[in-house]
Structure 1
Amino acid sequence: MALPSHCAEETALPVPCKVNLRLAVGPRRPDGYHDIDTFFLPLPEPCDAFFIRRFDEPGDIELSCSDPELETDDNLVVRAYRAFAAATGFSPRLEASLKKRIPHGAGLGGGSSDAAVMLRYLNDRAGEAALAEPGLATLALALGADVPFFLLGAPAMATGVGECLIPTDPGLSGWHAAVVCSPCHVPTAWAYAALDAARTFPAKAGASLLTSVFDANRRAFCVTGAPLRNDFEPVVFAAHPELGRVKERLLALGAAGALLSGTGSAVFGLFRQRQTAVMALADLSGDGPRTFLASL
């Protein structure tokens, strides 16, 4: 008769999200990707939550999720586990429960962050099989362009497809981010295709285009010497005008700057005073948007 499994460890882990303080996008490359110049800022809210049970014997991952539609082998958490196991041979049996609070399709990187937390969890327990940071980052990039940033876990400027990271202090300590997540979903592939269709580039390399001076945002709020900018705003706001109205409202309610995050649909505002941010979110909350407050 088989002996009962022994749970070696139970771990609860928070999963942060991100916003982009800047997102400049170059033309489509021959490989289908785009060069970007971005500034990633991690936020503690909204966050997902992991509860992981690790067993002594080798095996696979069993993932349960508060959103049953995400309980598939194509989930980035499952893919991260299996990619790490294939690369290292370390494959403990895991029961992983994921509570989703980061909205899907909001430009906040929830799936990428989930994957990064799983990679870090496994690498911290892999002993002699653990990967050095460059190898772990390479594994992360194969899962998604944002995953290496979430492995880093700190504010960073990023180029390439987002994998060339330079940790950078944005100087926002003591500030507050008000995040507004509207019900609409903006598919990333659609946003890139719409951006490509909406503009033309001069005949020069995409990387050099991203070194030009950034366009001034209305009531521009400067971070690291450049105003807030997101190249996706014109096409996303045209398709979803309610998101543009959220940005306008955040500015009217006292945000020093406001911006679409990633390809959307989340819009965030930066506030010097917590109470002002709280009042702004109270104005914007209701039956539609989900709102979150993050202290930086």
Structure 2
Amino acid sequence: MSTTLTAPCKINLFLHIAGVREDGYHELNTLFLPVPSPGDTLEISPADSGMEIVCPEFPELETKGNLLHKAWDSFGRNTGFRPGIRVRLTKNIPMGAGLGGGSTDAAALLKWLNTQAGGNSLGKDALIALAARLGADIPFFLQDRPCLARGIGEDLTPVDPGIQGLHLLLVCPPVHVNTQWAYARWDALNAGRDVALRPRLTSWESNNKNSLPVQPQDVFNDFETPVFEKHPELRAIKDKLLDSGAIAAAMSGSGSTVFGLFRHEREAAEAARAFGKDAALLYMNRY
């Protein structure tokens, strides 16, 4: 008997890079927002032993280097629960787009494994710690709600992002941004600067106990400087969203997806038509 899991994507409503830690990881402050569409699907069925990944559309993902396999292996080593499974992965989330496609798949599998592990299951904190060792975005995807994140993504605080009634348009162009390159280029551009200091905190950080309408100035992404330098077409997408009536727009993660928040569905739909299907994959969500 098989089980089908759905895995949503995410955007970063803001992303501030606060410097490099002693362990070599970058210190982040961000707000993760779960986004239903696009989402991946995982169909899990029993196998005699081991783990097999089947992804006909992207056979390059059918390896032990996939985060899905790493999640299964890490869970087994930490709990002793290592069921034989076959995972058929349907990839709808664009890869290299800053939407957390690999991380959300791993989180969906970890949650499922933990529900099946019985007495070997992990507590919430232990599961988050395991997830953080696999990838910075994975702990968030275990939450199923918007969260402020600090550190390398493991320090999470649920928050109301204040976007009720708004329409979110994702523009996913055929551009792949390498996250390691983006960090390295950001490091080079900010060498010798005290990047931990910011003129102001976002309203989400200073008022995370209260629900406030989204403030356009709070929507930003520090990765935009290095990424837009290399890919000016992404800056053009952001400008086009704002010119089309978006109250705020920014890149998600290290790119290449750019999103816009609209007050009215008509404006979001007109903006989507203006881009055209040949230029990008487009997804609309209402909050």
Q: Under a length normalisation based on structure 1, what TM-score does the superposition of the two structures give? A: 0.89
Q: Please name the residue that 1:61 is paired with.
A: 51
Q: Distance in 1 between matches of 2:223 and 2:231?
A: 12
1:242 to 215, 220, 233: 233
Q: Secondary structure at the match of 1:85?
A: helix
Q: Distance in 2 between matches of 1:100 and 1:235?
A: 28
Q: How does 1:1-296 map to 2 (within 5 A)?
A: 9-54=1-46, 59-65=49-55, 66-202=57-193, 209=196, 212-213=199-200, 223=214, 227-296=218-287
**Cα drift, residue 288 of structure 1:** 2.5
**Cα drift, residue 202 of structure 1:** 4.4
Q: Distance in 2 between matches of 1:162 and 1:282?
A: 35
Q: Distance in 1 between matches of 2:180 and 2:282?
A: 25
Q: Distance in 2 between matches of 1:173 and 1:165?
A: 21
| Residues 99-108 or 279-288, more deviating | 279-288
**Cα drift, residue 180 of structure 1:** 0.6
Q: CA RMSD in A?
A: 1.9
Q: Secondary structure at the match of 1:268?
A: strand
**Cα drift, residue 71 of structure 1:** 0.8
Percent identity at matched positions?
A: 44
Q: Secondary structure at the match of 2:84?
A: strand
Counterpart contact for 2:247–2:260, Cα < 8 Å: yes
**Cα drift, residue 283 of structure 1:** 1.1
Larger Rg: 1
**Cα drift, residue 222 of structure 1:** 6.8
**Cα drift, residue 201 of structure 1:** 4.5
Tell me which protein shows more strand as a share of its residues: 1
Q: Distance in 2 between matches of 1:158 and 1:145?
A: 10
Q: Distance in 1 between matches of 2:239 and 2:177?
A: 19
**Cα drift, residue 159 of structure 1:** 0.6
1:137-178 deviation digits (Å, cap 9, x = unpaired)? 111011101000001121000111111000001111222210
Counterpart contact for 1:108–1:262, Cα < 8 Å: yes
Q: Distance in 1 between matches of 2:161 and 2:184?
A: 30
Paired positions, count = 277
**Cα drift, residue 30 of structure 1:** 2.8
**Cα drift, residue 186 of structure 1:** 0.5
Q: Distance in 2 between matches of 1:161 and 1:141?
A: 8
Q: Distance in 2 between matches of 1:167 and 1:278?
A: 30
Q: Under a length normalisation based on structure 2, what TM-score does the superposition of the two structures give? A: 0.91
Q: Distance in 2 between matches of 1:292 and 1:11?
A: 26
Q: Secondary structure at the match of 2:115?
A: helix
Q: Secondary structure at the match of 1:152?
A: coil
Matching residue's letter, 1:153: D
Q: Distance in 2 between matches of 1:225 and 1:242?
A: 22
1:74-103 deviation digits (Å, cap 9, x = unpaired)? 000011011111111112211110011111
Matching residue's letter, 2:16: A
Q: Secondary structure at the match of 2:2?
A: strand
Counterpart contact for 1:18–1:43, Cα < 8 Å: yes
